[in-house]
Amino acid sequence: MKIKDGFVLKEIAGSTVAVPVGENLVNLQLMLTLNESGAFLWQQLENSCTEEELIAALTKEYQVDAQTAGTDVRAFIKILKENHILDEA
């Protein structure tokens, strides 16, 4: 999985926001405000990685158990898929 081209992370008024660019710019509904762990996962997904790799990275970075990390990762992936931001190839 990987974040599709056409999105960047920006710091706006103290918040981390995923912003569409290029062709995606016409659809501002694709803007997502991310919390700290969401921004961390987004950065991991800027390079291709698996769900298992995301869980391991989140577990290591935030010292949470794998079950909690897995629940959070799956919820985040679901949001990205629903907004057509994730390239699963």
58 in Cβ contact with 65 (< 8 Å): no
In a domain, 63, yes or no: yes
- Count CB-CB contacts under 10 A for residue 13: 5
Closest by CA position to 20, among listed 78, 12, 28: 28
Q: For residue 39, what are the domain limits?
A: 2-84
In-domain check, residue 89? no
Report if residue 12 sits inside a domain: yes
For position 36, what pLDDT does the model report?
94
Residue 31: which pLDDT band, with cuts at 50, 70 and 90? confident
- The answer, yes or no, to whether residue 10 has pLDDT greater than 80, is yes
- Total domains in the chain come to 1
Supply the CATH number for residue 17's domain. 1.10.10
- pLDDT at site 89: 62
Task: Establish if 40 belongs to a structural domain.
Answer: yes
Check pLDDT > 80 for residue 28: no
Q: Could you tell me if residue 62 is inside a domain?
A: yes
Q: What percent of the chain has pLDDT over 90?
A: 60
